[in-house]
Amino acid sequence: MTLIADGNTTVEHNLPLGVFYEDVLQFFSQSKTGYTPTLVVTYGGPAADPYWRAHTEVWKHPLLQKHQPAAILTANNARRTIAADGDYKDDDSAREAAKLARRGVPVAIGAHGQEPGIAAHWELWSFARGGMSPVEALRTGTIEAARSLGYEADVGSLEVGKLADLIVLDADPTQDIRNSDKISKVMIGGRLLDAATLNEELTGTRKRPAYWWEGKDGATGYTGPAGGGAMAHADQDDG
């Protein structure tokens, strides 16, 4: 609470309170401080990271399979531990964050270096687990995240004059927040990329170079730490 009183831009990680009562809600909401609870590593018990690893088949995710070595993706996710649903605390932290969001506090998703490519979606999904509507949860990863960092004039929403950084989905996340990872296209600075290949489409013809674990023809050459990764890397062309 002293960080809020001192005027910090944001507070990262969840306040270690089971319930935010009126003293906290009034004090926080009358400040200009944003809140990033970082649900993937929620304090107080099992967090969103172990929840979603246990409750989804991460190693089978179609986009992650395109952009991570299969051996690493499987090793990190196929063998999972699970707790009783009531033991997880990400939804409790999200529930309290929603109270602040509804009083005008910029509440944003976190990161913390969890599973690349999917952890931001886990944050959105856990905000919904805590009682946010899909639209409220989407705001935490878009305009509220931008607002908490002072970037809302440039990014965070689809408006004339803002940077053309966006994603195109194959399903509607306002109906089911779990659709947020059904990504078809990605636009970065006005360049449109296919999400599966990261090759540019429509706006240009730029092709993604091979990953370090791929051969020059794009075939996967990485089989694990003791496998063919080094050879596959050596086989890559200069592109």
Give the rounded percent of residues in the chain with a pLDDT score beyond 90: 87
Q: Which long-range contacts (CB under 8 A, 24 or more apart) does 170-179 make?
A: 173/124, 173/134, 173/138, 174/134, 174/135, 174/138, 175/134, 176/134, 177/124, 177/125, 177/127, 177/128, 177/134, 177/137, 177/138, 178/125
pLDDT, average across residues 121-127:
98
> CA-CA distance, 112 to 53, in Å (whole number)?
15
Question: How do strand 183-188 and strand 166-169 relate by DSSP bridges?
Answer: antiparallel
| pLDDT the model gives residue 235 | 35
| pLDDT the model gives residue 220 | 54
> CA-CA distance, 106 to 124, in Å (whole number)?
14
How many residues would you count in the chain? 239
Cβ distance 37 to 13 under 8 Å?
Answer: yes
| pLDDT the model gives residue 215 | 76
| pLDDT the model gives residue 111 | 84
| pLDDT the model gives residue 219 | 53
Return the closest-CA partner of residue 97 out of 127, 75, 73, 67.
127
Answer yes or no: is 11 within a domain.
yes
Q: Which domain holds residue 99?
A: 1-155
Cβ distance 185 to 177 under 8 Å?
Answer: no
pLDDT, average across residues 40-55:
96
pLDDT, average across residues 167-194:
97
What pTM value is reported for the model?
Answer: 0.89
| pLDDT the model gives residue 151 | 94
Cβ distance 142 to 103 under 8 Å?
Answer: no
Answer yes or no: is 73 within a domain.
yes
Total structural domains within the chain: 1
Q: What is the pLDDT of residues 55-98, one digit of tens each?
A: 999 999 999 999 999 999 999 999 999 999 999 999 999 999 99
Q: How many CB atoms lie within 10 A of CB 44?
A: 14
> CA-CA distance, 162 to 196, in Å (whole number)?
25
Answer yes or no: is 136 within a domain.
yes
Q: What is the pLDDT of residues 201-221, one digit of tens each?
A: 999 999 999 999 987 655 555
* CB proximity list for 111: less than 8 A, separation 6 or greater: 38, 40, 119, 120
Answer yes or no: is 44 within a domain.
yes
Answer yes or no: is 174 within a domain.
no
Answer yes or no: is 229 within a domain.
no
Cβ distance 132 to 142 under 8 Å?
Answer: no
| pLDDT the model gives residue 223 | 53
Indicate whether 236 pLDDT > 50: no
Measure CA of the first residue to CA of the last residue in the chain; give whole Å. Answer: 51
Answer yes or no: is 193 within a domain.
no
Helix H or strand E encompassing 183: strand 183-188
Answer yes or no: is 19 within a domain.
yes
| pLDDT the model gives residue 13 | 96
